[in-house]
Amino acid sequence: MKIKVIVASVIVVAFVIFGSYSFLESNVEYTDLAGAMAKSKKVQLKGTWVKEKPSSFDPSKSQFTFYMADEAGRECKVVLDGAAPNNFELATSVVAKGRYVRDGEYFHASEVLTKCPSKYEAQADEVKKAG
């Protein structure tokens, strides 16, 4: 009977440790470029796409490369695993999730989210002008 209690306790403790670790790994904070450079964990870098600098897709590596500027105006190269997100060209802001690679001096993103202008914004401006 005591063996069952011990085994059950070990299983419960293992699940608590695993759950805590998973929560800490999935908890990704927003930061700027300086914060991303200082941290070694996964972060969310918010900014805008620098359209004046080159962007390209390398099919052999399946990587999309572009440049973005954070809210303070600091620019960095972003390498995304995969193709460019849908509506990337229309994006008003970009959020890249990943880690800053110090050796290559670029932000390695596992995911990029884009915010595009709403189709309702233009309609709201037209209503204001008409009214």
For the chain, list the domains and their CATH numbers: 30-118 (2.40.50.140)
Sequential pLDDT tens for the chain (131 residues): 688 888 888 898 888 888 777 776 666 777 888 888 888 788 889 999 998 999 999 999 899 999 999 888 899 999 999 888 888 888 888 999 999 988 878 999 999 988 877 666 555 555 555 55
Q: For residue 106, what are the β-bridge partners? A: 101
Which residue has 């997100």 as its token pair?
85
- Burial-class residue 43 by CB neighbours within 10 Å (0-12, 13-18, 19+): buried
pLDDT (0 to 100) of residue 78: 94
pLDDT (0 to 100) of residue 37: 86
pTM, whole model, 2 decimals? Answer: 0.69
pLDDT (0 to 100) of residue 35: 85
Which residue blocks in the chain are alpha helix, DSSP H? 2-26, 33-38, 119-130
